[in-house]
Structure 1
Amino acid sequence: MKYFVSPYNQSVDLKFPENITVYDTTLRDGEQTPGVCLRTPEKLKIARKLDELRLHQIEAGFPVVSHEEKRSVKAIAGENLDAQILALCRTKKEDIDTALDCNVDGIITFLGTSALHLKHKLKVSQEDALNICMNSIEYAKEHGLFVAFSAEDATRTDLDFLKNIYKRAQSYGADRVHIADTVGAISPQGMGYLVGELKKEIDIEIALHCHNDFGMALSNSIAGLLAGASAVSTTVNGIGERAGNTSLEELVMTLLLIYGVDLDFNIGVFYELSQMVEELTNMKVPDNKPIVGKNVFRHESGIHVDAVIEEPLTYEPFLPELIGHQRRIVLGKHSGCRAVKAKLDECGIDVTRDELCKIVEIVKEKREKGKYINDNIFNDIVRSVRGPFEF
């Protein structure tokens, strides 16, 4: 058995869409994290790994931003990956022309729709915004692109106007509309309500682009799917502007193991992908990050370690090998004899019961004095008790 989650999950009658699309924006929204800048070789490396995961769509970048960005998007589109390659565009002809020159499969074109954005950023009326958006959708469709229209700050937009602009987008041939929770300000219940209201008015695929300002990006994405949306935007490690976006690995593993929705992804590459993005973006994955954090499969407490050695699923919801991760027993203040014995066995060292108890005692003392018990320090402790010994 590779995982064991609560049986009560299946006691709730939930209905997800038959087909769910995951489109990853690590290379676009993820790169918009302050301080992050990915060059073309780095973007290609991540895109290939996302394709190895069998991701549906990759938002490769925002090609009008710079010559290097355009080069990156064009290079990814030229890789002949199985994933569809999308580019972000403003509602401007020149942006769409730049995307076309990159040979992408489709675009995501966006415009702020909330009163805040219309008044303070765009300085246009709702009617003007409608015309701007429709002209862009029409132009992109005329050139054979997959077109998604994203209402920026949708979750703070007047509902009647949002319905109107999405209905118009559908009538102009858009393939998908996006609800952008731009500042992560909606609740899961609010997202469920919003998607439900939109489903009454439009017959077009709805996607969710959720930010994590209140720590609810994943919950909002799940709520939106349950209400009838069928596409979700993600980033590896949940990176992105401010508090980041819906985490790719959290979404996929939650759908798979908690809700029983298998998207047929190659989940064995998740940890490698996470480590790659951490290295290339120089954004450290928190040790307690769900799914891919180091502490998810690290154990120190003696009671926990005893149980994990006997049966890992006592303190792990799934085995680390499932995503290419690995378990580690950490020695410290809370360690017991069994944890230290396991470490000694790993090193091929036999000790007496008295020696084992002494080693455990010293491990605890050193950790309480602020020493992290790495392999070198552990070796020194064993030598101090056991005498000279080749590890």
Structure 2
Amino acid sequence: MRKVEFLDTSLRDGEQTPGVNFSIKEKVAIAKQLEKWGISSIEAGFPAASPDSFEAVKQIAAAMTTTAVSGLARSVKSDIDACYEAIKDAKFPQCHVFIATSPIHREYKLKKSKEEILEIVKEHVSYASERFDVVEFSPEDATRTELDYLLEVVQTAVDAGATYINIPDTVGFTTPEEFGHIFKYLIANVKSDREIIFSPHCHDDLGMAVANTLAAIKNGAGRVEGTINGIGERAGNAALEEVAVALNIREDYYQVESPIVLNETVNTAEMVSRFSGIAIPKNKAVVGGNAFSHESGIHQDGVLKNPLTYEIITPELVGVKKSSLPLGKLSGRHAFVEKLKELELNFEESEIVSLFAKFKRLADKKHDITDADIIALVSGTDIANPEGFHFENLHLSSNSDDTITAEVFMINKDDEEIAILANGKGSVEAIYNAVDKFFNQTVKLLSYTIDAVTDGIDAQARVSVSIENVDTGTIFNASGIDFDVLKAGAIAYVNANALAQKENAGEIGHRISEKDY
């Protein structure tokens, strides 16, 4: 049984998802959860992109105790220098250098010959190797690169000091058979007197990212790269939770050992979902709401007789707890705190008073409180926007002309409560018009979705919104959780607007785009 490492790039490639903008606080929280999940290395970001990105990588590097931290760098010395400064204090620092190699990228984007690219690889991997003990190199768009030239590029990187060789399927073009062949070919032909670990980085444009990743492992890859919930550019990346569970369930076939703590899988997926503002689809493999549901009578009968008839993954394997929470409005603070510890939720002692007060308010409204309710209650605190603006409350009234008046109470950066009045044809429109008045900026609501945290008429609601900053065209996602669906929607809209205002103030750096490569 050989060991396979896991590298997570949710905080770098995942944040390139349209609308996803993690705050530094959220990035550090996700990184800590990834470490708890068992991730071997975290690609924390692109330090050269902006001061905000640099600071996020630096804080993540300082927070990790067992997990390596990597920063992305183009084949540019200033990028590598930024990586070094951001990650130099990490316990296990790594640098990830890349350049495109496929014919279409060479001709139209880089406008460089094969020989020029080889020189760039040699120069910059050598430069990185002087500053880092561990250097990863990626030939971008590797799966559309001529195989003999790909070998030449990889050999050049290895000779220059690369420790890891990442083979990206940048546009999700390849198939499992082709991708497996690439790994088998490279591993057999790259020459080195030290261990070189190969890894896949697959995008999901044709829906084969996980299959391609598993094919790479089967053919010798020693590290997996992907994101939580498959977030990322366009159709996203290989979903690491799916890869981890597949390796566990089909250990007989893949014959590899994973470092992932599988019963932390759902906690990890839900945290990334909350902070990204992207809901997990009900039918998503491993962590979707329907992953362990059985509607068909034949399936139900089989599961009751033996769960293995239709469940190859047990809910407990990935951290799904079936029991309801035996707490109610008469429960005391001690019992509440013990339940938080049992659920392994992250909280500070200073937060207990406010969390318990929220629990009491929830218990007054909801008779049966489940583990999911408590998780949502605590996570609702986490997703409060980090920019200093907070939704406090709202009042609605009907008018004789069938319009609605919303009075929205907000807390500004100076911790002052401000009340804003606005009208609308419906409750949501009135509330959002009031929030627009507060922020005084032009945004367009692109989507508004509601998801119940738990089952039943008294379920807490999670509302996810996407807005577009009309001035810049940037999309922002955000979520809100509350027992009242209108309040949940208000929280989500406030959080998204706070991100747009941060961009307008010039505090959000640019993303790596194709033109930057």
Normalised by the size of structure 2, how large is the TM-score? Answer: 0.59
Residue 220 of structure 2 is matched in structure 1 by 228
Cα RMSD, aligned residues only: 2.3
Deviation at 1:94, TM superposition (A): 0.5
Decide which of 262, 269, 272 is 2:264's aligned counterpart.
Answer: 269
Structure 1 residue 200 corresponds to structure 2 residue 195: no
SS at match of 1:23: strand
Structure 1 residue 237 corresponds to structure 2 residue 229: yes
Aligned pairs for 1:124-273 (under 5 A) are 124-203=112-191, 204-260=196-252, 261-273=256-268
Contact 1:297 1:327 (C-alpha < 8 Å) held by counterparts: no
- Per-residue CA deviation, residues 293-327 of structure 1 (Å, 9 max, x unaligned), is 00001233334334434433332112201111246
Counterpart of 2:225, as a letter, is S
Aligned pairs for 1:35-184 (under 5 A) are 35-102=19-86, 103=88, 104=90, 105-184=93-172
SS at match of 1:212: coil
Contact 2:73 2:97 (C-alpha < 8 Å) held by counterparts: yes
Q: Name whichever of 95-104 and 39-48 sits farther off.
A: 95-104
Aligned pairs for 1:272-287 (under 5 A) are 272-287=267-282
Residue 375 of structure 1 is matched in structure 2 by 456
Runs of 4+ in structure 1 over 4 Å off: none
Counterpart of 1:283, as a letter, is I
Q: Percent identity?
A: 39
- Per-residue CA deviation, residues 85-135 of structure 1 (Å, 9 max, x unaligned), is 001100111001111111250111110000111111111111111111211
State how many pairs are aligned.
Answer: 322
Contact 1:180 1:210 (C-alpha < 8 Å) held by counterparts: yes
Structure 1 residue 34 corresponds to structure 2 residue 29: no
Could you tell me how far apart the structure 2 residues matched to 1:222 and 1:31 are? 24
Deviation at 1:19, TM superposition (A): 2.4
SS at match of 1:26: coil
Aligned pairs for 1:290-369 (under 5 A) are 290-326=285-321
Counterpart of 1:182, as a letter, is T
SS at match of 1:220: helix
Deviation at 1:259, TM superposition (A): 2.4
- Per-residue CA deviation, residues 192-214 of structure 1 (Å, 9 max, x unaligned), is 21112212321422111111111
Could you tell me how far apart the structure 2 residues matched to 1:325 and 1:82 are? 26
Could you tell me how far apart the structure 2 residues matched to 1:22 and 1:374 are? 34
Which has the higher relative contact order, 1 or 2, with Cα contacts under 8 A spaced 6 or more apart?
Answer: 1
- Per-residue CA deviation, residues 206-259 of structure 1 (Å, 9 max, x unaligned), is 111111111111111111112222111010011111111111110011001112
Deviation at 1:374, TM superposition (A): 5.5
Could you tell me how far apart the structure 2 residues matched to 1:163 and 1:376 are? 59
Could you tell me how far apart the structure 1 residues matched to 2:3 and 2:70 are? 19
Deviation at 1:265, TM superposition (A): 2.1
Decide which of 20, 34, 42 is 2:4's aligned counterpart.
Answer: 20
SS at match of 2:224: strand
Normalised by the size of structure 1, how large is the TM-score? Answer: 0.78
Which structure's residues are more often strand, by fraction?
2
Could you tell me how far apart the structure 2 residues matched to 1:163 and 1:175 are? 15
Distance 1:376 1:76, change over 3 A: closer
Contact 2:48 2:79 (C-alpha < 8 Å) held by counterparts: yes
Gaps of 5+ in 2: 324-367, 369-451, 459-517
Gaps of 5+ in 1: 1-16, 329-346, 348-371, 378-391
- Per-residue CA deviation, residues 324-345 of structure 1 (Å, 9 max, x unaligned), is 12469xxxxxxxxxxxxxxxxx
